[in-house]
Amino acid sequence: MESLFRNKPARRRVLFCRLLIILPVIIGVALLARPADASFSIDDENKLGKEIHQKIEGAKLLFHDVKSEDYINRLGRKILAQSGTPSFDFRFFILNSSAINAFATPGGYVYINRGLIGLVDNESELAGVIAHEIAHVNCRHIARNIEKSQKIGMASLAAIVAGILLGGGTGTEAVLGLSMATASHMQLAYSRENEEEADRLGISYLAAAGYSGRGMLTFMKTMKNYEFYSSSIPSYFLSHPGTDERIRYLDALIESRYKSGGKLNILGGLPRVKSILVLEEKDPSVAERYFAGRLKRNPKDLEGLFGISVVRSRKGQTEEALAGFRKALAVAPSDVDVIRQLGLAYLKAGRTVDAVNTLRQAYMLQENDYETLLQLARGYDELGDYKTSLDLFLKYRKRYPGDDQVLYAVAMNYGRTGNPGESHYHFGLYFKKKSKSESALFHFREALKHPSSPGRTAELDREIESLQKVKKSLFSKEKAKR
């Protein structure tokens, strides 16, 4: 799994991190310019939340991993179920940033940074952060502050958002300075009363979900310790001020209402999610030190064995990786992540039969694991079992139709298994996606000579007609230039 930030300039990564710190600022000014006394409705919040999410997604800030995304959504839904009937359709996301931060935007979009998840000791601490963010949304704190804010022009807003998302030189830094000054003037940050209300409601959600109420308090203390030892202020403090007061308030709440009961972990799976996130570090030595530290404390630690073996496999230390995965399986014989990674290591070592057998075992344990499905299809392809490989590629393509390489593999294997019509058809789709009109036209026309069904013939006619129109249009433009 490669970092989403890989191959991006360092300045852009820095600006992305700044975006996460000052996003409450953007939220405060991101709706249409409005007078100070205008109301900010639920529909307004939903619209704004969607717009902000599209910008975050468009900037490729989201971390995508099926297991991690599933975990954070299950945890979010568990807490949400204790918050009454929400006014918004809540969604939960992981941001691919090492900054220690979490925030919620209007409309129920909750974002947890990779760095924050790595800092929590147990599930109750992470659940406490999520509960606090859900409470901010339910109380409509940002909406209330926007209603009291002053008017700002859309031109200024566009400059702020574009500057943060797109990066740039000194002009961009000037824009960032302007945005912070604007935020201060508009007084859009959470107030002490906002934080107390979010903590009071959040800890009630946390306890009602079965977690220890102390999870919220211990994480706040962890962040204070982090600040003390690292001389670096966690960005969570910047968007959620008044930390010392919050710690005292939470302590009093726990002593008076939530002193006993509750669990530290309920869903399970957080250690593996943390391992997956550590493996996202751009510098493999960072991950290697983390997992080596776990193994130093416990030579049979599953996450340590799993993680360090993945790192070694990525570094090309295949035999060491294979040995590590086998040790991990001795600890947890049915761990599907370990089995999958062992299969991938076998593929790297050129041991294709072992790879296919291992990946098939992983796929039987978890059929919705599409990464395993893809690698298994490639394994069968290497063995020359093109029929089985084709079936698996087609199944993968139903879930991820936009994968060009899979489309190419499907076209190849249709040809290898004696179906020229479907082979030419899929080659046509492939070259069309690659904007190679002549090649696409050739394959679509060849496919017409071997129609698979009457429906396919009509589709091929439409594809050919469409490409011919594009070709004619391009020819006319070129002629006009001459």
pLDDT tens sequence across 109-127: 999 999 999 999 999 999 9
Band (142; pLDDT cuts 50, 70, 90): confident
User: Is the CB of residue 393 less than 8 Å from the CB of residue 413?
Assistant: yes
pLDDT at position 46: 87
pLDDT at position 109: 92
Band (148; pLDDT cuts 50, 70, 90): low
Q: What is the pLDDT of residues 183-196, one digit of tens each?
A: 333 344 677 888 88
| Rounded distance between C-alpha atoms, residue 205 and residue 395, angstroms | 40
- The arithmetic mean of pLDDT across residues 223-229, rounded, is 71
- The arithmetic mean of pLDDT across residues 88-106, rounded, is 89
More confident of the two residues 48 and 343: 343
pLDDT over 70 (residue 216): yes
Q: Which residues contact 182 (CB under 8 A, 6 or more apart)?
A: 25, 29, 152, 156, 160
* Helices H / strands E in the chain, number of each: 24, 3
Domains of the chain with bracketed CATH = 10-256 (no CATH), 283-366 (1.25.40.10)
Q: Which residues contact 236 (CB under 8 A, 6 or more apart)?
A: 100, 101, 102, 116, 223
- The arithmetic mean of pLDDT across residues 21-37, rounded, is 48
pLDDT at position 409: 97
Q: How far is CA 27 from the centre of its chain?
A: 20
More confident of the two residues 414 and 260: 414
> Tokens representing 301?
């630690």
pLDDT over 50 (residue 56): yes
More confident of the two residues 253 and 321: 321
Band (38; pLDDT cuts 50, 70, 90): low
Q: Which residues contact 121 (CB under 8 A, 6 or more apart)?
A: 218, 219, 222
Nearest to 332 by CA among 370, 356, 365: 365
pLDDT at position 110: 94
Q: Which residues contact 298 (CB under 8 A, 6 or more apart)?
A: 304
Q: What is the pLDDT of residues 254-264, one digit of tens each?
A: 988 888 789 99
pLDDT at position 60: 85
Nearest to 457 by CA among 408, 412, 430, 422: 422
Give the gyration radius of the chain's Cα atoms.
26
pLDDT at position 135: 94
How large a percentage of the chain has pLDDT more than 70?
77
| Ramachandran angles phi, psi of 8, nearest 5° | -100, 145
> What one-character DSSP code corresponds to residue 189?
S
Angle in degrees, CA 228, 188, 129, rounded to 5? 50
Neighbours of 229 (CB within 10 A): 8
pLDDT over 90 (residue 344): yes
Q: How far is CA 42 from the centre of its chain?
A: 26
Helix (H) or strand (E) holding 51: helix 42-58
Q: How far is CA 315 from the centre of its chain?
A: 24
Neighbours of 6 (CB within 10 A): 9
User: Is the CB of residue 172 less than 8 Å from the CB of residue 162?
Assistant: no
More confident of the two residues 168 and 46: 46
In terms of DSSP H, where are the helices of 298-369?
Answer: 302-314, 318-331, 336-348, 352-365
User: Is the CB of residue 26 less than 8 Å from the CB of residue 183?
Assistant: no
Which residue(s) pair with 103 in the sheet? 111
Band (7; pLDDT cuts 50, 70, 90): very low
User: Is the CB of residue 205 less than 8 Å from the CB of residue 82?
Assistant: yes
Helix (H) or strand (E) holding 21: helix 10-29
Neighbours of 66 (CB within 10 A): 13
| Rounded distance between C-alpha atoms, residue 185 and residue 332, angstroms | 56
Which residue(s) pair with 113 in the sheet? 95
Specify whether the backbone of 6 is left (phi greater than 0), alpha (psi in -120 to 50) or beta: beta
Q: How far is CA 295 from the centre of its chain?
A: 28
pLDDT over 90 (residue 242): no
